[in-house]
Structure 1
Amino acid sequence: MTASHVKRAFKYRFYPTEELAFLSEVSSVPLQQCLRHSRTAFTGFFAKRAKYPHCKSRKESRKSAEYTTSGFRFRDGRPTLAKMSAPLDIVWSRPLPQGVGPSTVTVSQDSAGRWFVSPLCDDPSVRPLPASGNAVGIDVGLNHLLTLSTGEKIANPRHERKDRVRLARAQRNLAKKAKGSANPAKARREVARVHARIADRRHDLLRQLTTRLVRENQTLVIEDLTVRSMVKNHSLARAISDAAWHEFRSLLEYKAAWYGRVVVVVDRFFPSSRLCSTCGTLQERMPLHVRTWTRDCGTVHDRDVNAAKNLLAAGWAVTACGAGVRPQRSSPGGQSAMKQEASRREP
């Protein structure tokens, strides 16, 4: 083997160009974290667990930087990041747990121009609550955000509708700005502030509701809704998005896992609204405009309360005897049963 065939390892020094000069303004810790996140994303892609990763835009995406323990330090309850001479001037939404240090600190800026510091740490106060025998069925809606099997109805505040005039005014102001100046950026930030105001109030309400439901009940039964398909109805898309049903379910599930509660998800085709919770009779049709109906047994049903009671009964069937909550979609004496009977008779 000649010398030309010998493989050699060479080290090159990286000199940032003018386009990448901003990378040297920050610590190397968040840059290394970006590479780790990229590796995780590609690992999930090649394992066929996720789609192909896409690059985030420096201007349009949410700006964030993640610092590990080597990139920050806490002094007098205030974090100081690498390459910073003074600690961050922050206002804590709640104090950190006593005797626990954060493993990472994420600094981010939303589209409204607000900065956030999110420390990640283990909270020893999060532990399973004492077991309770209470169970509740939860039916989500638009007229009322939540209807419980106990008969309680929680009103839908419709946060987007309250700020719709303010949002429309800000969007019209943005559309009138001339491109190429700094005015569109200012108007775009004003639109983002209105959206942030709506989202903050919505998140605050959902967090309070889910915390209350998880603390009061051991078993919580909800319905599996395909929100992605439901928002294709252009008449109800805005109201459904404002209700945030998917976010409600996500908050309920992770809080139930924290505090040792059980969340039972009923199949979306379960006829909770058309089924009489008293006699078990199934109504053939139930249009959306029908809010109350009377069954042959003489029971007058509120549509939402009846649905919540049926969801609770289905949840009890799952927790008590392991029964399924999927509706029966084929007749017991259909072709499938005939084929099974024929296969058993074959020698």
Structure 2
Amino acid sequence: MSSVTSSLKVTRNYKFRLYPNKEQESQLLRWLETCRWIYNTALAQRKETWERERRTVTRIEQQVWLKEAKKTDEHLREIHSQVAQEVLFRVERAFAAFFRRVKNGETPGYPRFKGRGRYKSITFTQFGEGKGASFQDGKLRLSKIGLVKIKLHREIHGTIKTVIVKRDAAGKWWAVFAVEKELTQSQANNGPAVGLDAGLEKFAALSDGSIIENPRHLRKTEKRLKHAQRNLSRKVKGSRNREKARQKLARLHAKIHNQRRDFLHKQSRRLVETYGLIAVEKLNIKGMVKNHRLAKSISDAGWGEFMAMLEYKAAEAGARLVKVNPSGTSQECSGCGMDVPKELSERTHYCPYCGLILDRDVNAARNILKKALALEAA
């Protein structure tokens, strides 16, 4: 590959742990409940107006309503204006997604009202000195909240556009910064080309014969999850013991999520730093998870998240990610190109025409690479 100079603007999220004091946490919880009320009220307005007048209430109309409502509601006046206004944008996005699904013939899924405890984040849409959120003395300054302790475990590169303050199911607080940065690539990655076949038996097989084993984070913790779920179901609703059991279950789910993301980040980073061209399949993951026998294993593997990581990390590293049609990659012989049908249970590819014997997933990875190279040459 030759040297290239290119510039690309991308948005990245940086997530850091927050440690609000008791007073700040109490205030943040009140804000979440107020935002939940705004969301549900705005949703009800749209629903009732459509049923009564057969027209859609616009966000501008609802912004006027919110401005008037603040005059008589002290809870609305307590929260920052950016945070309150952003709730209306969420309602608008929820309806836009609903109408898009209707248009595409998908299951529509009408926007739902948020129950108590179901509204988990607030957004400051501007960041910087004199704005809704900023850094001050090594802490995160949130307007009307104050200085909140934050663990900045890594440096932020780029321009912070927004910050989301969220509370997870285990009761921990986080700040998620949306950061815009410009990537300048002065040199392409000149590493070798590789094909990658994602699977369930193995996480992935590469065309060079190497294997990435499937860690199965969910499966390994399944017994503990079932025990925690049973323990929760036995507790009296509204009791302290039930809340403790709920938090224990939430911590287990959070641990699995963090383990999976750590694994995916490390593997995707290793691949883009090692290879100059990475060929993968175009996977219809939404369609695949409809298979109830495989849905849990597919979700546990995290293919969709992995592909998204590969895509943006390849752009940063100067590598190329090429997606190909997976049709026939498992049945075709990578050695002679002949069709060699095999059942899913057959894990070894044996070609009766050229005598090639190798792992069926490695064979598929080689075919994926062939397709990608053909696309590049076209």
Q: Do the structures match in fold with TM over 0.5?
A: yes
1:246-300 Cα offsets, whole Å, 9 max, x none, are: 11112112222344432222223x11111111111101x3111111132121111
Between the aligned partners of 1:306 and 1:13, the Cα distance in structure 2 is 65
C-alpha displacement of 1:39:
4.2
More helix by share: 2
In structure 2, the CA distance between the partners of 1:157 and 1:42, relative to structure 1 (3 Å rule), is closer
Structure 2 residue aligned with 1:89: 149
Q: 1:293 pairs with 334, 343, 349, which one?
A: 349
Question: Which aligned pairs between 1:178-327 and structure 2 lie closer than 5 A?
Answer: 178-268=236-326, 270-283=327-340, 285-296=341-352, 297-321=354-378
1:79-123 Cα offsets, whole Å, 9 max, x none, are: 1101123x11111231223xx552322111111212111222334
Structure 2, unpaired ranges of 5+: 1-63
Between the aligned partners of 1:258 and 1:172, the Cα distance in structure 2 is 45
CA contact under 8 A between 1:42 and 1:52: conserved in structure 2?
Answer: no
CA contact under 8 A between 2:332 and 2:338: conserved in structure 1?
Answer: yes
Alignment of 1:79 with 2:136, yes or no, is: no
Q: Secondary structure at the match of 2:118?
A: coil
Between the aligned partners of 1:44 and 1:230, the Cα distance in structure 2 is 22
Structure 1 residue aligned with 2:36: none
Q: Secondary structure at the match of 1:88?
A: strand
Structure 1 residue aligned with 2:163: 105
Structure 2 residue aligned with 1:35: 88
Structure 1 residue aligned with 2:49: none
1:310 counterpart letter in structure 2: N
In structure 2, the CA distance between the partners of 1:41 and 1:153, relative to structure 1 (3 Å rule), is same
In structure 2, the CA distance between the partners of 1:105 and 1:223, relative to structure 1 (3 Å rule), is same
CA contact under 8 A between 2:191 and 2:274: conserved in structure 1?
Answer: no
Greater RCO (Cα-Cα under 8 Å, separation 6 or more): 2
C-alpha displacement of 1:25:
3.3
Q: Secondary structure at the match of 2:140?
A: strand
Between the aligned partners of 1:14 and 1:293, the Cα distance in structure 2 is 68
Number of equivalences: 304
Between the aligned partners of 1:242 and 1:44, the Cα distance in structure 2 is 26
C-alpha displacement of 1:13:
4.5
Between the aligned partners of 1:282 and 1:37, the Cα distance in structure 2 is 50
C-alpha displacement of 1:22:
4.1
TM-score in terms of structure 2 length: 0.72
C-alpha displacement of 1:77:
2.9
Between the aligned partners of 2:216 and 2:320, the Cα distance in structure 1 is 29
TM-score in terms of structure 1 length: 0.78
Q: RMSD between aligned alpha carbons?
A: 2.8
In structure 2, the CA distance between the partners of 1:318 and 1:143, relative to structure 1 (3 Å rule), is same
Between the aligned partners of 2:233 and 2:74, the Cα distance in structure 1 is 33
C-alpha displacement of 1:217:
2.0
1:274 counterpart letter in structure 2: Q
Question: Which aligned pairs between 1:336-347 and structure 2 lie closer than 5 A?
Answer: none
C-alpha displacement of 1:149:
0.7
In structure 2, the CA distance between the partners of 1:303 and 1:42, relative to structure 1 (3 Å rule), is same
Q: Secondary structure at the match of 2:160?
A: coil
CA contact under 8 A between 1:128 and 1:258: conserved in structure 2?
Answer: yes
C-alpha displacement of 1:40:
5.0
C-alpha displacement of 1:54:
2.1
Q: Secondary structure at the match of 2:203?
A: strand
1:83 counterpart letter in structure 2: K
In structure 2, the CA distance between the partners of 1:241 and 1:37, relative to structure 1 (3 Å rule), is closer
In structure 2, the CA distance between the partners of 1:254 and 1:60, relative to structure 1 (3 Å rule), is farther
Identity of aligned residues (%): 39
C-alpha displacement of 1:198:
0.4
More strand by share: 2
1:282 counterpart letter in structure 2: D
CA contact under 8 A between 1:102 and 1:120: conserved in structure 2?
Answer: yes
In structure 2, the CA distance between the partners of 1:41 and 1:134, relative to structure 1 (3 Å rule), is same
Structure 1, unpaired ranges of 5+: 1-9, 322-347
Between the aligned partners of 1:304 and 1:45, the Cα distance in structure 2 is 39
Between the aligned partners of 2:279 and 2:328, the Cα distance in structure 1 is 15
Alignment of 1:170 with 2:231, yes or no, is: no
Between the aligned partners of 1:60 and 1:84, the Cα distance in structure 2 is 20
2:231 counterpart letter in structure 1: N
CA contact under 8 A between 1:145 and 1:243: conserved in structure 2?
Answer: yes
Structure 2 residue aligned with 1:135: 193
2:161 counterpart letter in structure 1: S
C-alpha displacement of 1:148:
0.7
CA contact under 8 A between 2:169 and 2:250: conserved in structure 1?
Answer: yes
Q: Based on CA coordinates, which of the two structures has the bigger radius of gyration?
A: 1
